[in-house]
Structures are given as C-alpha cells and as structure tokens.
Structure 1
Amino acid sequence: MQHLNISLIGVPLDFGQSRRGVDMGPSAIRYAGAVGRIESIGHQVTDEGDVQVSAVERKKHSDTNLKNLDEVIQATTELARKVAEVVDAGRFPLVLGGDHSIAIGTLAGLSEKYKNLGVIWYDAHADFNTAETSPSGNIHGMPLAVSVGLGHESLVNIHSEGQKVKPKNVVIIGARSVDPEERQLLKEQGVKVFTMHEIDRYGMTSVMEDALAYLRSRDVDGVHLSLDLDGLDPLYTPGVGTPVPGGISYRESHLAMEMLEDSGMITSAEFVEVNPILDEKNKTADVAVGLMGSLFGEKLI
C-alpha cells in the first residue's frame, strides 16, 4: 500500500439545497474520527480546516431560478483554489461536505493538473440537471452537469473557463432517482451509468470491475471519487437530505471502496451530504469514516 500525504479540507456549505444543516457535515465527520482512522492505516493527514462560507443568504438573482447562486460561487471558487494548491504540493485532497454542489469547486481545482480526469460518482442521483431542467433550482442537483460544461455560465467558468471533465470520463454508480430530462442529457453526453438494476443483477464486484476497466480504457490521468452518502440505502445513512430507498448496502459500499483502493487509481476524493440534524447519533458520519478506512487501505487481517 502506498502511504499518502492527505490534506483534509472541510466545506461547510448548505446553500446548494433546501434542507439546512449539512453545513455541519465536516464537523460531524471529524468528530467521528476521520483523521485518526486514516492515520492508523499509515497515512499522514494534515487538516487544512474549513473553506470560509457565508452564514447569510443573499437575495435570489432575478435572472435565474438557481438558489443561493452567489454563495455557491464564493465557496466553490475558494475550494477550487485550495484543491489546486494541495494537488500542486503533491498531496491527496480529501474534501468533506457540505452538500454536493461543492464538487463544482473540487473538480475545477483538480482540472488544473488532470487534463483527462476520470470521475466515479457514487450517488443515488445523477446531479446532471441545469437551470432549465431542474424542478427545484437546487444547485446540489447540478454539479456533474456543470463540471462537464453544461449550465449557468458563472458556475461552468469557476476557476477556469469551460469544461473541467469530459462526460465520457464519468461513471455514475448507484443511481436510482433520475429526472426525465437528466436521463436524456446523460444519454446525449455519453455518461456511463450503473443503476441499482445493474448492481442488483450483476453484483457490486462486476459493476466495479467494469467501471474501473472503462476508465482505464479512457486512458485517464487520475480518478476522483465523489461519494454522496445518499448513495447508500437510508437504512445505513439516515442523516442525508434526499434519501432514496432501495440503495447500496453497507457491505457493498465497503467492497466498492476496497476495490478502488486495490486499483491504485484514486487520486482524490470527497464525501458529502452528511446532515447531523437528520442523523441518528452520528450514524451517517460514522459510515462515512468507515468507508474512508476501506478506501485508504484498512484491512480486517
């Protein structure tokens, strides 16, 4: 196992959606012992603290239905700068959310180094809406679309102009709640999607083998894991804002993380959407930390 120098970055942002409280996610994950868990495996962890996020909502833009656009732009721009700085120093960025809109900043920062970045999007949702297709205007349902160059100009151009990730370099795992217009966009853009149907029918081992083989065939120069805790069934992760029944199991998720670690392909990661207000005794943050353990090489024996 390669011993990593990991920079942990918290992003206490909850303006990308409508249910407040996920801004406390980074604190909950730290409280669940993330740093100690990863260090016990043999890695070096530097906690870089949190990206500054305004606590005050400003008025909605009159020219868009996107909620809290200014706040999301401010936080993701700062996150992109921080991620680029960490990568430039040769460290592994581990980002803690916060809602999933923070991925806009993470991927923007990574794109400075990785010109053919692969992305594994572990999520119940595709997050491939735009202002035109979104039924809610919540930006946490848009970060993947934004990162491939679709959506509001001010979001698409964060940190640098245009597309940060090629759509055919993206693999979604665990999707089970996809809006009709999202579905059409995903097909048009050529995004690889493994829904719960594929996981149920073929098993997580087969799905992960196919996902990793697909990314290798794309000759990617790095792979980012973006893990939304609602990718798991809410039985295991009750503290998320948009739970969807019938999700990935706890054990299947550990297997997926173990296979990612075995592949040696993961170069950055983020864990998002832990909402302590909705949680049960920090259960969801505990699951996040356990999955980090498997991702970074923790073994039973």
Structure 2
Amino acid sequence: STFPQHLLPIFFFLYLLMYLFTLLGNLLIMATIWSERSLHTPMYLFLCALSISEILFTVAVTPRMLVDMLSTHHSITFVACASQMFFSFTFGFTHSFLLMIMGYDCYVGNCHPLCYNVLMGTQGCASLMFWSWAGGSVMGMMVTLIVFHLTFCGSNMIHHFACYVLPLLKLSCGRETSSVTLGVILVCVTALMGCLFLIFLSYVFIVATILRIPSAEGRHKTFSTCVSHLTVVVVHYGFASIIYLKPKGPHSMDSNTLMATTYTVFTPFLSPIIFSLRNRELKNAIKKMRLQKTLSCELLTNSLEVRNYDRRAEIMICPHKAVVRAQVCENTYTP
C-alpha cells in the first residue's frame, strides 16, 4: 500500500486494540451462552455461531495485516493471498447468512410463536446452521477460483493492506478481465442484497405484528428481543454501503484503503458490544457469571485462610507433634 508510513504505528495500535477486544468479546459471549442453561435456545445458538464466524474472519485477515503494518518486507505468496481471500469471503458470507437466519428466527418467534418449537427445533436449527456455513464456503471457493483463474501481468503490487478482490482484479490482464470483474461484483452484491432483502422482509412482518399489540409495554417487550440483531444488521450493511458505494475521487486510493481496512476491523469489534449492551438476557447472564466467579474466588480465599488458621492452631496446641513430623520428614529425605 502507498499509505503514509508515519501514520502506520498509530493505526497499528488502534487495530490491535480492536482485534484483541473482538476476540475477547466474542469469546465472552460464547462462554456465557455455553455456561448459562437458560440461553440454550436457537437465537443464542445462532449468536454463538455468529461469534465464531467473526473470530475466524478476524483471524484470517487482521494478524497478517498488523504484521505488514510494522514490517519493512511487504510481500505475500500467491498461495497465501488466495487462502486469505478464500477464508475472508467464506467467513464474511457466512456472517451475512447467519444474520439472515437470525432475522428469520425473530420472525418466527414474533409472528408464529405457537409454531416456533416445530420450525426452530433441533433438526431445523442444525439444517439452517449447516447451510449457512456451506453457503459461505461455496461463495468463498467460487469467488477465489474465478479471481485466481485470471492471468496477472505487469505490476505485482497490491495497493492495499490485504488481498482484497478489487485491487487484485486491477492487476489482471486479458480479454476476460472486465467480464470477470463484473461477474464477481454481481455475485457478491446479489448474495448480500438477497440476505438484506429477506431480513427487511422479516422485519416488515415483525413490525406489522407488533403494531397489532394493544399495550405499549407489550409492543416494547416484543420489539426489544430483536433490537440487538437489527442494530448489527444496520451497522454491517450501513458501513459496507458507505465504503463500497461512495463515488470514487481522483485521489481516493488511500482513503478507500483506510476505510475498507477500518471496516474489516471495526465491524467485528462493534458486534459483541452491541449484543452485550442491547440484549437484556445476555447482559444479565454475563453479570451473573461475573458474580459467580467473584463469589467462588472469595469462598476459595476464605477457605484457604481457614485452613492456614487451623494449621497454625494445630502447631500451637501440639508443638511436639509438629517437631516429630519435621524429624520424620528429615529422616525420610534422600538427596
């Protein structure tokens, strides 16, 4: 990348903090859902899968990007570049498919509550989960094979911090380059816009159902179950729209690189914050788990203090026994 070198340490520090918080936040969500039996429901199962996809997406892109920011040797092999693109597309599309499924889960829970246990049973959830990961893998493999099937000639410098598809397509040459570029854009946009359309359709029915509830408290309680998911969807697609749909200026290469890189790190960073703060059940479960750990630490400390006190009392009451024990230990010791 041609990004100003004197700014790299600053962005390295910011991206490193967001990367670590993304890992810790998503791991905390997964541990809370795993330990709290009341959260063993389809919605939180999908949330756990969403956290896994965000961790894997972040691990696939961010560590290499952080290393390259401070390294003087900015290079990546052909195979490593293809692998990074495959995994980033796989986990990125899986993330979008899981958001779509979570929207469907909200729709069934609010619009068809009597059929929820049938539609979102164990087999149904497993099928939805499988097809989300399978669909993401297929999309990642398809886009990667299409891009790396092209012929690359001329400059081999990617004007970016990672192997993003558009900077790579600019390095390709041949008659099929323009058609492949258009095909990749259409495939990606169709898949993402299809997910967004189905999420939007789900919330149209959810809002229509909420408006039929007579009490304001009932409407608020029903809508609050989907607020965190809706916020993540708005952040995910809103940032993507700002970055990829804004007009390209004549000197916008560095700004586009910075915005795309920030989107890659910042969006997974926001998701655990949103779900932790906007989801009441998850927030209460996290507080409960912290309280249990604090109590267990206090009980362990008190237990150790009692044991030490009992030991000191035994030595004070029976000092001859302590001497005998020490002598026995010395006699049985063999160097």
Shared fold (TM-score, shorter chain, > 0.5) = no
Q: Which has the higher strand share?
A: 1
Q: Which has the higher helix share?
A: 2
| Larger Rg, first or second structure (1 or 2) | 2
